[in-house]
Structure 1
Amino acid sequence: MPDRLVHIVDDVPELDDTSELTMVLVLDGFLDAGNAAGRAAQHLVDLSDGRVVATFDVDELHDYRARRPPMSFVRDHYASYDAPRLVVRLLADAGGTPYLLLQGPEPDTRWEAFCVAVREVVERFGVTRVVGMGSVPMAVPHTRPIAITHHANNPGLLTGESPWRGELRIPSSAQALLEIRLGEWGHDAMGFVAHVPHYLAQMDYPRASAALLEQVEIAGRLTVDLSGLRAEAEDREAEIARYLAANAEVADVVEALERQYDAFERAEESGAGLLAEEQRLPTGEELGKEFERFLAGLDGPESSDGDED
């Protein structure tokens, strides 16, 4: 077993005069419908010529047989191997403010040890707030605003109201556990989860990525150029609109979902209840069946060029 789970760069002069430091957190593999968080993280990397300042020992955290990394076979030999990397990068926002990005596959094992290792990063660099991103599939139409669930280990960090009432029992994640542990150790951590239309959850949905980064800007006190991401989102929305215009059955399903969403909003505003009477929510199977060809077409060879990171 290695002596250290994380290896941290000793000299980072860019942070010497920093009194407040945000670390953005995105772990792949669980909360990422529509690749919203992953695409948002890649957008941050693309915008800034940063460098790696901490590296986690992935061999201690990754289940290779459960999530096999891709590799290339060229004619008669293995040519390359895309090794999983879990790293912390030093980036800068549009105004030159430095911040950190912890990105990579969610650990499959040793969650508690991973949390301790992240704590070491937080304390070594003087991180003042950790801001996580995630996304979940929800029964919502793509024609309505992206809803965001706000969460934090300190109530004073919350920047919006929660749409949930009472207690929900949900599957745990390393990212969620980290927020709890950081709070226990006296470190502020918060996050945002975008609600992605569940019939679009298997494709890149940059509109949700932009919505997440808008929240990160506020919480992390950063400035991020979202113009490129918003252009991607407009192109994707146009593709969806063209498909709906040519497929009346699919459009009917989405319209039913819109009616359900609007009835829900009216009920919430009036306090009458969460679901309107005589409004049936389309099932995931119905939407999935109708959009199966649509998703295959958008992610096919003809359109994949614009979706590559």
Structure 2
Amino acid sequence: MLDAGELYSVNAALDRAKTLTGLPMIAGFTGFAEAGQVVSQIRTELFDSLDHELVASFDADQLLDYRGRRPRITFKEDHLTGYRPPRLELYRLHDGLGQPFLFLTGFEPDYQWERFIRAVLLLVDELDVSFVTWTHSIPMPVPHTRPLGVTVHGNRPDLIEGASTWRPTAELAASVGHLLEVRLVEAGHDVVGYVVHVPHYLAEAEYPQAAVAALEYLGASTALMLPTDRLRESGREVERQIREQVEGSNDVMGVVTRLERHYDEHAESRVRRSLLVKDNDELADADELGAAVEAYLASTDSHERTPGAAGDSSRILGEAAPDSAPDCDLTDQVGPTPDGDES
């Protein structure tokens, strides 16, 4: 078995014994079901707004499939420059009140999950981490006009009970965050994960509202004051764009109206089954989710439909456009996103 301690290097300039021990840790990995680009937005907001110092770096060459998720480089007229290597790192940050915390972030490893997690557990033990919380996001057939939902899991009942808006029993594709949570629980550490529900037709674009929700949950669970002002401002602009598109298209308005009706019916019936769970209790994939929403919309009585919406709903349920965040085009940017890239 390979030595997990050789998978990372620590910043020797930091006095780990006096300044890094006993802190909470927040974790977020890019590349897995990152609907609304939530983790990417959180990374940017924390690094741009808060003081941060590198604590440890993981060896990307051993963890990343470069051909599957190619790093970015710039070609400038006649030469190459600005290579942006993939990074997976642990930082120390200070919140708005000066309280320190740890932030584990970067690409989700393609290889050596168990060894990577053993390395994280070494750091958790060495630094006497007091609590671990992490977040990611998934696309859901819900309207943007309703409160964002969340699914909460872990081993802290005081932070979990009554918080989830969706509590399924389902098989799903695992992420390294899921496995990390399992191993932390097995090792006796406190851990809670937050899954933010993003409207599926906004999954490909940056959706600041979802990042704000994730930061609020992370901050509340760790008693940290995390920055959200810039994201809230961006969210207001995105909300304006969405409102204009909804008001300007009967097709879009019809789809949103039907999702609102379905959301309200689901909220009224606690036992109603989610569209995301199939009959065999597996989580629906992107194509199945789109088909389920289309089938739901098609089942609506014709006299309730907005003129023109019935035959053209594929425009809002079709293929997603290339990244154009923060602009939101509801006629193009739709559907759950596959694995993303870490630039």
TM-score by length of 1: 0.86
1:42-53 aligned at under 5 Å gives the runs 42-53=44-55
1:222 equivalent to 2:224? Answer yes
Render the CA deviation track for 1:245-295: whole Å, top value 9, x for unaligned: 111211111111111111111222xx6x448xxx96348956333986997
RMSD, aligned α-carbons = 2.9
2:42 aligns to what?
40
Alpha-carbon contact 2:45-2:227 (below 8 Å) kept: no
Deviation (angstroms), 1:7: 1.0
1:210 aligns to what?
212
Structure 2 residue matching 1:172: 3-state secondary structure: coil
1:298 equivalent to 2:327? Answer yes
Render the CA deviation track for 1:182-212: whole Å, top value 9, x for unaligned: 1111211211010000000000000000001
2:296 aligns to what?
281
1:87-126 aligned at under 5 Å gives the runs 87-126=89-128
**What is the CA–CA distance in structure 1 between the aligned matches of 2:24 and 2:325, rounded to whole Å?**
38
Structure 1 letter corresponding to 2:64: H
Change (3 A) 1:157 1:9: farther
Deviation (angstroms), 1:95: 0.8
Structure 2 letter corresponding to 1:192: Y
Render the CA deviation track for 1:222-253: whole Å, top value 9, x for unaligned: 11232221111111111100111111211111
1:136 equivalent to 2:146? Answer no
2:303 aligns to what?
none
Alpha-carbon contact 1:267-1:274 (below 8 Å) kept: no
1:80 aligns to what?
82
4+ runs deviating over 3 angstroms: 10-15, 17-20, 153-157, 159-166, 282-286, 289-297
**What is the CA–CA distance in structure 2 between the aligned matches of 1:72 and 1:290, rounded to whole Å?**
28
Alpha-carbon contact 2:238-2:326 (below 8 Å) kept: no
**What is the CA–CA distance in structure 1 between the aligned matches of 2:163 and 2:273, rounded to whole Å?**
16
Alpha-carbon contact 2:149-2:166 (below 8 Å) kept: no
Deviation (angstroms), 1:79: 1.7
Sequence identity percentage:
36
Aligned residues: 295
Change (3 A) 1:152 1:289: same
**What is the CA–CA distance in structure 2 between the aligned matches of 1:47 and 1:230, rounded to whole Å?**
14
Moved more, 134-143 or 249-258: 249-258
**What is the CA–CA distance in structure 2 between the aligned matches of 1:294 and 1:248, rounded to whole Å?**
25
TM-score by length of 2: 0.78
Deviation (angstroms), 1:75: 2.1
Alpha-carbon contact 1:85-1:105 (below 8 Å) kept: yes
Deviation (angstroms), 1:51: 1.1
Deviation (angstroms), 1:298: 2.3
